[in-house]
Amino acid sequence: MKDRLSLFIMIDACGWEIVKDHPFLEQLAPHRRKLESVFGYSSTCVPSILSGRWPDEHLNWCYFVYNPEKSPFRSLRALRWLPTALTSRRIVRRLLTKFVKTHLNFRGYFDLYNIPFKYIHLFDFTEKKSPLNPGGMNRGPNIFDLLEETNVPYYVTDPSLPEDEHLRLLTADIESERIDFAFQYWAGLDGLLHMVGNDSPEIPEKLDHYQRWISSLMETARKHYKHVDLHVFSDHGMANCDRHLDLRAKIDTLNLKMGVDYAVVYDSTMARFWFLKPGVRERVEQVLATVPEGRTMPEDELRHYRTWFEDQSFGELIWLAEEGVLIVPSHMGERPIRAMHGYHPTDPQSYATLFSNTDDVPEDITHIPHIHRLMERAVRNHAAKP
């Protein structure tokens, strides 16, 4: 029997508002805490957790950025002649995504989403490496670099595998006593929330499902380790989308040319603009000022939330929708979904969670990047043992 296992389990989109009145893990991990997330999507939340740093430090924020000189997608522009009715279908996009990811040797999460092939050559993709691997950050180290450096044996989720396989593989590593540290990442709740919203009876059923899995892991771990430290946490919450906004149609009234006058990425809750000619910004700002469903984020607020980038590589103007507003159609999808995240970090449904079976979580663990401190402490404690 080994001495100690440090078990970190991330449940994507398990927000505070979703679980605060649910008896989730009240026996297994009774010490629960509300955490503030970071401004952005999982593309920045997960790297922030794994590195302990903020978006302006690790440079993993939104996926698509205007950068025609370095775009890896130039060859895909030939597909612009295909009918939109075909290329906007998810199954077609999914097959193309798989092919492009393999062809370009991207190691992180990748999806073509709904970027028009007419304009895809204007954009670069920011997550070419996987933050779940050593050396996987755009800048700086992550927890897996520390695990490799200290020679602490560990398990990490392979996102390409189904969730039940994650459970099987981690269970096998625990039974063999191969590991001292584990980072398990379950994304199924996020996908379910997108489809059914956070009021669906399927959500507590999914939480109960995860609780049974965690209970099974803990039961196995206690047979092979004297001490098991359990931390279960999320990256953000999820808001129901009851209002839809066609922001693109409003900008199109300006009769500006994409790639000539300006460039834009319409994310699900944000629009990020780059301006290529004088005077264009002012015209876009005038239109955005008439849209009551959101607002332009000022520089001081972006700096406060650590998403101001001096080179403005992620956008010269960031427009953010109010919680519950979905930009649709967008470059993330043509059709509405039931719920979304990526709103302001202090909106009610944005808050994340932390559950622990130990009562020694420091009081200053208040934001999701702080979870890295718990992981780093665990790794260094393991490394210090003979």
**Confidence tier at 146 by pLDDT (50, 70, 90):** very high
* 188 and 284 in a common domain: no
Q: Do 229 and 195 reside in the same domain of the chain?
A: yes
Q: Residue 320 maps to which CATH number?
A: 3.30.1360.180
182-205 confidence digits (pLDDT tens) = 999 999 999 999 999 999 999 999
Residue 278: band (very low, low, confident or very high) from pLDDT cuts 50, 70, 90: very high
Identify whether the C-beta of residue 228 lies closer than 8 Å to the C-beta of residue 222: yes
Q: Which of 125, 140, 168 is the last residue of a domain?
A: 125
Last residue of a domain, one of 91, 125, 159: 125
Q: What is the 3-state secondary structure (H, E, C) of the chain?
A: CEEEEEEEEEECCCCHHHHCCCCCCCCCCCEEEEEECCCCCHHHHHHHHHHCCCHHHHCCCCCEEECHHHCCCHHHHHHHHCCHHHHCCHHHHHHHHHHHHHHHCCCCCCCCCCCCCCCHHHEEECCCCCCCCCCCCCCCCCHHHHHHHHCCCEEECCCCCCHHHHHHHHHHHHHCCCCCEEEEEECHHHHHHHHHCCCCCHHHHHHHHHHHHHHHHHHHHHHHEEEEEEEEECCCCCEECCEEECHHHHHHCCCCCECCCEEEEECCCEEEEEECCCCHHHHHHHHHCCCCCEEECCHHHHHHCCCCCCCCCCCCEEEEECCCEEECCECCECCCCCEECCCCCCCHHHCEEEEECCCCCCCCCCEHHHHHHHHHHHHHHHHHCC
> How far from each other are the two terminal CA atoms of the chain, in whole angstroms?
16
**Which of the pair, 97 or 302, is modelled with greater confidence?**
302
Q: If you average pLDDT over every residue of the chain, what do you get?
A: 94
Q: Which among 90, 91, 135, 136 is positioned nearest to 109, based on CA atoms?
A: 136
Q: Which residue has the tokens 């009774």?
A: 30
Distance CA 54, CA 313 (A): 16
Q: How does pLDDT run across 174-188, given as a tens digit for each residue?
A: 999 999 999 999 999
Query: By mean pLDDT, which of 70-74, 124-128, 290-294 is the weakest?
Result: 70-74
Of 21, 29, 34, give the one whose Cα is nearest residue 236: 34
pLDDT, residue 323, reads 98
Output the pLDDT for position 88: 66
Buried-exposed string 184-219: b where 16+ CB fall within 10 A, e elsewhere: bbbbbbbebbbebbbebeebeebbeebbebbeebbe
Compute the distance between CA of residue 72 and CA of residue 56 in angstroms, rounded to an integer.
24
Q: What is the mean pLDDT of residues 318-322?
A: 98
Residues 233 and 251 in one domain: no
For residue 27, give its domain range.
Answer: 2-56+130-239+346-384
* Band (76; pLDDT cuts 50, 70, 90): confident
**% of the chain residues with pLDDT over 70:** 97
Residue 341 domain-assigned? Answer: no
Total of domains in the chain? 3
pLDDT for the residue numbered 94: 81
Band (pLDDT 50/70/90 cuts) for residue 128 is very high
- Do both 93 and 141 map to the same domain? no
pLDDT at 87 over 70: no
With tokens 């999820």, the residue in question is 238
CA nearest to 270, candidates 335, 314, 336: 314
Q: What is the pLDDT of residue 82?
A: 66
- Do 48 and 146 fall within a single domain? yes
CATH number where 218 lies: 3.40.720.10
pLDDT, greater one: 103 or 26: 26
Q: Is the pLDDT of residue 213 over 90?
A: yes
Tell me the mean pLDDT in the region 214-227.
98
Model confidence, pTM: 0.94
pLDDT tens digit sequence for 29-69: 999 999 999 999 999 999 999 999 999 999 999 999 999 99
Same-domain status, 142 and 234: yes
CB atoms within 10 A of CB 94: 12
Greater pLDDT, 82 or 289: 289
pLDDT at position 109 is 87
Chosen domain end from 72, 104, 125: 125
- 292 and 233 belong to one structural domain: no
pLDDT at 305 over 90: yes
* Whether residue 77 has pLDDT greater than 90: no
Same domain membership, residue 302 and residue 251: yes
Q: Does residue 320 share a domain with residue 258? A: yes
* 295 located within any domain: yes
